[in-house]
Chains A and B, each alone.
Chain A
Amino acid sequence: MKQLFPAKQVMGFVFSLILTAIALAVYFLDVSFTAGLTILIVTAFVQALLQLIVFMHAGETKDKWSIYGNVYFMIFIALITIFGTLFLFSWDM
């Protein structure tokens, strides 16, 4: 039974619950908008990386750099799309 629950994945799960609890602080505690957004950005991206490495086994095979390269490139394009649009339409720069 014990071998069905590998320590690495159990720790990953506990850690992602802790990150969720930290993110909840922005709702339950009185934090400024900037501080709150900073907390959310950190907890969300750490949690996404955790999923990628611990649960999706991204770094296990010979083609790991093709996998990471593809994912990081798409995240880069995604961020350009989101912030590029915000620059133009919301922040008026």
Chain B
Amino acid sequence: MKIDHSQPLEYSTGQNNLNIFGFWIFLGAEIMLFATLFTTFFTLEHRTGNGPTGAEIFEITPVLIETILLLTSSFVIGLGIHAMRLGNKKAMITFFSITLLLGLGFLGFEIFEFVHYVHIGAGLQTSAFTASLLTTLGTHGAHVTFGLFWGLSIILQVKKRGLTPETANKSFIFSLYWHFLDVVWIFIFSFIYLKGMM
């Protein structure tokens, strides 16, 4: 395989370039997936039936903590990719581990939030509003959960095989996925929570 040493490892082969571009195409499809969920939510958010409205059930503190956790994790994985480009495997693994811990913290808060919603009578079947809310949040949360397992596998593989064009490529693609989840959260935070509490 032809290796271009003027490029960072993750871009060093033709295959790697195509893998990264292919993942961008996938992220394009993910944008569309979340767009349909947002569409449903915006259409149904006032159809609350006998259930509560957004303003009644949203709480700013846990939402803000979730936002800070995910925002920080997105920054930390960026540092991980930077360390990878410097060839510093140890720092990279440390940053990736911190990223996943922050992601786990985010997930913990989100699960707590879901239990709380069900507890106060805002479950999946309460109204069109709660159904579209929990489906949108849940799809994002499921992506984060999947990302935790994916990230863990990446860390183990980098530990075992070191930084090669293949492992660097996989790590970079995982970082794209993680940043994308943060972008989606920014929109959830702004247009579901803050707009709902305004």
Given A17-B71, A48-B186, check contact A9 B28 (CB 8 Å).
no
Report Cα–Cα, A51/B79, bound state, in Å: 13
Could you tell me if B190 and A23 are in contact, using CB atoms closer than 8 angstroms?
yes
B82 neighbours in A (Cβ, 8 Å): 4, 6, 9
* Chain B residues in the interface with A (C-beta under 8 A): 7, 11, 17, 20-21, 24-25, 27-29, 31-32, 34-36, 38-39, 42-43, 60, 64, 67-68, 71-72, 74-75, 78-79, 81-83, 86, 88, 91, 175-176, 179-180, 182-183, 186-187, 189-191, 194-195, 197-198
Closest-by-CB residue of A relative to B94 is: A4
A contact residues vs B (CB 8 Å cutoff): 3-6, 9, 12-13, 16-17, 20, 23-24, 26-27, 31, 33, 36-37, 40-41, 43-44, 47-48, 51-52, 54-57, 60-61, 63, 66-67, 70-71, 73-75, 77-79, 81-82, 85-86, 89-90
Instruction: Please state if A61 and B60 are interface contacts (CB–CB under 8 Å).
Output: no
Contact of A51 with B179 at beta-carbon distance under 8 Å, contacts A20-B67, A66-B21 already known: yes
Pair B186/A74 contact, Cβ less than 8 Å: no
9 A-B contacts, Cβ less than 8 Å apart?
A6-B79, A13-B75, A23-B194, A27-B60, A36-B198, A41-B190, A48-B187, A55-B179, A81-B36
Verify B190–A55 contact, CB threshold 8 A: no
Collect the chain A residues with CB atoms within 8 Å of residue B21's CB.
63, 66-67
- Least Cβ distance of B92 to chain A in Å? 9
Query: What's the Cα separation between A36 and B24 when bound, in Å?
Result: 32
Known A-B contacts: A56-B179, A81-B36. Give 12 more (CB < 8 A). Answer: A13-B71, A13-B72, A13-B78, A24-B194, A36-B195, A40-B194, A41-B190, A51-B74, A77-B35, A78-B31, A78-B35, A81-B35
Q: A3-B86, A5-B79 are in contact. Are A23 and B189 (CB under 8 A)?
A: yes
By the criterion CB–CB under 8 Å, are B43 and A89 in contact? yes
